[in-house]
Amino acid sequence: MKFNEEYEEVLRIMAGIWGGDIVERQRDNLVLQILASVPFYAGSSNPMRVAVACINNYFLYACEGARKYFNHQPEDDCDLFSRISLLYIVPSGNQAVIDKGRILLELIMIQDHMTDSEADIRTGKYNPVVSGAWEYNRIRDELIKQAACMRTEGLDMDFPLDIVMNRGFWEGA
């Protein structure tokens, strides 16, 4: 990843907030790396602020006490990005890079829903793939097609589509 020093600084900040063990378990998480990189690749006006905010939101989403508020709900079905919209807020910069980052996150998220299907059925957790609200193959294929058409040098180098296509959203947790 091109922005290793910046990523390490964000992780140090998060360790002070969330605890070193929690942050260390997530160090190699692809979602965290995308959240940290996009503001820099996009040329956001304050990329470190944006990266810290996005990654802090990631840890909030994953926090055991708050997770139930961020789990997918039926009202999130109408927009693929709805549930993670508070996680990924990049207010300025190259829009193509910001859009590609969003698409990569959506791709990881829908794959996570598919991966979790059986477990969600067993536990009764709502899952838009299981409910039929989202057609996994169609949505996944469309996201892959969109991402493949967008050339964003830094993101393409750090997060090749063939790697992103095979990752789950909370992988590394």
d(CA 123, CA 125): 5
The per-residue pLDDT for 166 is: 80
Task: Tell me the average pLDDT of the chain.
Answer: 92
Q: pLDDT class for 46, splitting at 50, 70, 90?
A: very high
Of 18-22, 46-50, 60-64, 143-147, the range with the lowest mean pLDDT is 60-64
Contacts of 6 (CB under 8 A, 6+ apart): 36, 40, 47, 48, 51
What mean pLDDT do residues 146-158 have?
Answer: 93
pLDDT value at residue 110: 93
pLDDT of residue 173: 44
Percent of residues, the chain, with pLDDT higher than 90 = 81
Distance CA 132, CA 110 (A): 13
Mean pLDDT of 17-46: 94
For the chain, the farthest-separated pair of C-alpha atoms sits apart, in whole angstroms, at: 45
Mean pLDDT of 3-8: 90
Residue 79 DSSP SS3: coil
Counting Cα atoms < 13 Å in the Cβ hemisphere of 107 gives 26
